Amino acid sequence: MELTVEVRRRQWSPAAVGSGETTPIFAVAKGERVIAAGCRITTPWAGGSTATITLGDGTDPDGLLPTADVTETTAGEYASAAGAYLAGNGKLYSAADTLDVVYTPNTPGATNGVVVFWVMVVEEETWKMVARA
- The DSSP symbol for 69 reads G
Q: What is the pLDDT of residue 64?
A: 96
Using a 10 angstrom Cβ sphere, with 0-12 exposed, 13-18 middle and 19 or more buried, the burial of residue 117 is buried
Which parts of the chain fold into alpha helices (H)? Answer: 124-132
Which residues does the chain have with pLDDT short of 70?
A: 1-3, 126-133
Using DSSP bridges, classify how beta strands 114-123 and 91-92 pair: parallel, antiparallel or unpaired: unpaired
Q: What is the pLDDT of residue 6?
A: 93
- Taking the C-alpha atoms of residue 39 and residue 121, their distance in angstroms, rounded to an integer, is 15
Which pLDDT value is given to residue 130? 61
pTM score above 0.85: yes
